[in-house]
A and B are shown apart, each in its own frame.
Chain A
């Protein structure tokens, strides 16, 4: 375990160094810096400024760009979090059902839904969803994170907690308002995520239903729910998590496209506005923040997988 941890941390170091090189070269190419002709010493300066958390000042509003970017990216993560919870609640049971009833009617209908969900372009679905309140008569906000009438001071940077902290003033209505604003964008993102989770779950379940220990359990005379709960689910979950880990960057890039349609103040909207107005410093900052987050998250997920699944641990010991 310790060796594995060291190896992952070593990988983290090398990958993050490569990321800083990429970010530096993008900053060099777009913004440019003519003070010092030596690229290498400029890169060292850049590394030092990263370690001090000073990535420069945005040309748009003269605020430190790191703070703006972090606040925007946390909003994106809130969106992804809600979409992920929603999608897991719907997607995992459907996927299990499709995997157990393989090649029957119910499997075909669930897989058709998944195929349709994957083929719909997210920004178009987002546009359709912005029209929904108008068509159906629901009262639903379709733009921004929170109504402008609420003044939420920045305490933690996470809007969900910040809006709870002002409950003395607004009695939770700011919190509810923020939640209502998240519902539609999160649903759009969840449509993509649901179909992805259904596909992964079905694939993983069918792989496990074919294995010999399931046949052995059948011959022992276990009933089907018993087999599913005791043997199938435990073994099916780790591959799904592993595959979803590889999809994090896709999910975030879809979330960014959805934000722009809903003008939700997240990383996508921030990048879009910055690029349109020519503030290219945002690009290298975005790489550092978003990729750094994905890198750290994927290593945490790896460690979690090793902790929960004995088969991964077996590979680990065989390596030594």
Chain B
């Protein structure tokens, strides 16, 4: 085999490749990445993984415990609830709804927030101060209160609760982006780019955005975490989901009466929320470390 090493070409890695190579070298980060992929696959192919339809009732098998406890039935891996519905299927359905909701919110907020935040940071004068004061006012309203108000205005449904959560988290993200760009604008290379005569758009694309990846990852991670927590909180309070759409918080609320008879019904959805958040947090932390090391 001919080894083509005649002209010893030195390849210089692009920053993205360099960050990726650092990311690959960390075991926990790679494991969490595959866990994230697995969660997303579960959310997409939920229909095909579920052993039973989530609303199917088995009247002869009520309140079964999970398979490792005595008196369980191997047909229902994680047991059943008081109407004989399979816990595992309901859990998967709940994960699908919560995760897709949170991911949708994160994507929508990041797009909208980037546009509004960078516009606000690059503007000057009256327009900028209007945005500034409006954000200040919106930030003082607790997110749960905002979500409750929007749900009262729009009516109760899962879609509206998603809308409410995203609108209540949007000011935080805009403020975060605004602060990042504001600190970046005072640096010397931005002044140099300005002296070169670059337009605002070019300044943003080549000057600022590549340098604020790390704070953006942190912000997005925070927004995702808060989105999961708020969707489930609204579901738990009974403002989000209806009977068909059992997202994880609503699942906990529905099973709350059974907590002394079969605590697993409350334990599992909570653990599922915990796992979703912790997996995404470790993944984001891995990216953040890779970006920081790549910049050094």
Contact = CB atoms under 8 A, between A and B. Distances in A.
Residue of A18, A253, A272, A294 most packed against chain B (CB within 10 A): A253
Interface stretch (B12-20, B45-53, B189-197, B256-264): B256-264
Nearest to A257: B233
A123 B164 CA distance: 19
- How big is chain B's contact interface, by range? 35 or more
A11 B142 contact: no
Given A118-B281, A271-B148, A283-B148, A22 B137 contact: yes
B152 A119 contact: no
A50 interface: no
A26 B237 contact: no
A18 B143 contact: no
Interface string B131-168: 00110111111111100110011000000000000000
B29 interface: no
A29 B154 CA distance: 11
Contacts of A207: none
B137 A257 contact: no
A192 B13 CA distance: 41
B141 A249 contact: yes
Contact of B281 (A11, A119, A260, A268): A119
Interface in A250-270: 250, 252-254, 256-257, 260, 268
A148 to B, nearest CB: 23
Contacts of B137: 15, 18-19, 22, 291
Contacts of B281: 115, 118-119
A294 B136 CA distance: 11
Contacts of B140: 15, 19, 249, 291, 294-295, 298
Contacts of A286: 145
A300 interface: no
B176 to A, nearest CB: 10
Looking at chain B's contact residues, the main secondary structure is: helix
Contacts of A294: 140, 142
A9 interface: no
A124 B251 CA distance: 11
Interface in A264-287: 268, 271-272, 275, 280, 283, 286-287
A290 B237 contact: no
Interface in B202-237: 225-226, 228-229, 232-233, 236-237
Residue of A122, A287, A298 most packed against chain B (CB within 10 A): A287
A316 B121 CA distance: 21
A120 interface: yes
Interface in A99-151: 115-116, 118-124, 127-128, 131, 134
Interface residues of A, number: 44
A165 B260 CA distance: 39
Contacts of B142: 249-250, 252-253, 256, 290, 294
A29 B277 CA distance: 36
B149 A250 contact: no
Contact of B133 (A14, A22, A122, A272): A14
Interface stretch (B65-73, B103-111, B266-274): B266-274
Contact of B278 (A18, A119, A291): A119
A243 to B, nearest CB: 12
A124 B237 contact: no
B225 A283 contact: no
A280 to B, nearest CB: 6
Interface in A240-254: 246, 249-250, 252-254
26 contacts: A15-B137, A18-B136, A19-B140, A26-B153, A30-B153, A116-B274, A119-B277, A119-B278, A119-B281, A121-B228, A121-B229, A121-B270, A122-B229, A124-B266, A246-B139, A249-B140, A249-B143, A250-B142, A250-B143, A253-B144, A256-B144, A271-B145, A283-B148, A283-B149, A290-B145, A295-B140
Interface of B: 133-134, 136-145, 148-149, 152-153, 225-226, 228-229, 232-233, 236-237, 249, 252, 256, 259-260, 263, 266, 269-270, 273-274, 277-278, 281-282
- Ranked nearest first, the 3 interchain pairs of A and B with the lowest CB-CB distance are A253-B144, A124-B270, A253-B142
Given A118-B225, A121-B232, A295-B140, 10 more contacts: A22-B141, A119-B274, A121-B273, A121-B274, A127-B259, A128-B270, A131-B260, A131-B263, A134-B260, A290-B141
